[in-house]
Structure 1
């Protein structure tokens, strides 16, 4: 029976790379490339968030926020708080807070000056626990708002901010499950669902769940730069579609190694924005160059304008989806931002001198032969 042991089987072929080794090396190289975009000395974290937990808070909201910050904070995967930092606070940090799953979390310290943070976030608990305010928590949130520190309501944290009058006349992001009850309780707040978050300047609200990763990534982008946000998305395996990981997407496109760090950053941003509209001007703003300079960089390296490169990249991803997914041509076209299927087919033919249907038929013939 020992002959079937996987380790012994691998040792019989010392020259053969283990399955998946190329994926792992590519993933490590991608992170190394991102980390190499910014080698400046770090004197203090670029992003600091203070966190207040309500009884029966959802673990996913806390974990999503902290894990996003953790990946953006360090270089490599060493859990060093260099670019980002976070602090969980309570009146008495010796008392653990029980989550809705029954897992308890012990705060790091007592409430500290809100001005020490870029944001103060409150993660609300089950609705039945909202009236069980931790000692000093509401006063601390008001103190943060009065000091001009942006406050974030995560999950039912929006209820808490509304109760404190911090959402009066504003928009608020709610999970659909809580939307009706919130509207009944706070008719003076414009509550919306089916969004990841709403940024209303000095007050932000987030639906919770995996939506917190979207909000955290945006805050990381603003304070630490798009390279840190890209690393976060990659490390947390946030996919551009439900059944494809960012690493798979990168392999489908062919990650481009270029010398200019601004151009590398621009390419990474394009690869991470395949299913949402971006413009050359937005791209130029993110990498801190003028639109004319960005066009020059793309022309010198790729012989294309930024807009053409974005379109070509999406078409390449579309071709990969045709070959590797079960989505229809129409679904792929709409996912990639084309106005309709006909537009996608016409542009695809111009780029590859073939049609999406022909690519799908070739895949079907190949599958039949392999079967």
Structure 2
């Protein structure tokens, strides 16, 4: 069997890594166009100008907020006027995906600097393209992974802890989806099955979350960097990125994509919706009760969603929720990588069961507190 794994060219992580950005970008040439989301522009822009500009011509552009075709076209026009040697994306997942798509359009190297450990987007050769209104539109599969991923752990620690938790929700899906792809022999993001390395990394990602997740959350709440936080940043960013991309996606992300069509979920982060997708997937795949217990306990311990209400879907009827289930089962969606047939009504049933179980467990926790 022919298998394929793909990786970013260079990964840098640690406290103070941001100070090395200019040195790292100089490897690509003398100038860089940097796309910063509003938070990064407002809080890190002056620091980046001071450090990066010592080594290269560093020009900042502010991201408008959505990774959509319209924003990519706007940035292509700006970049063509400046003719940089590289593109760098700095901020959250959508800014990074936009930078990757922009670099692809221009045929330039791309550096990725996440300010959050909220998704596994930074390392991947993939941009998720949305409509201008924020609904999922398509995956843009890129010909290569980022040339540089640079993560400053102190910047991650200063972000609200909710982002780190959302990243753990996204990362939690990695092993379950990769494992089902392995069983099925399904293709990963390259169009071929992944090697053993990918599945081992996916499992390491899951084990790291369970071992260090609660401790990392406490460190992030204190805005300090500890070894546990470093481990979870690596799991959310590198291990999850390598695991999903070279292992494969399945039901959890497809269910997330279905939820994006429901406006009530738009206030919730990618990883929060993926987490509920994992719980639905556990019901869909007939997981062992002990494994279901483990995942629910972890989600409740760190504050990930375990009910539909936790992602904004209060008292929705079956007809409305079926819209998300139908989109999750659309032709070409990753849910069809599951090693069994899937249809929208089955997914609806899994969502309802996951929600009911989440409500039961939350009630038990509330009763124990009182």
| Both proteins in one fold, TM over 0.5 | no
For normalisation by structure 2, the TM-score amounts to 0.31
Larger-gyration structure (1/2): 1
For normalisation by structure 1, the TM-score amounts to 0.31
* Structure ranking higher in helix proportion: 2
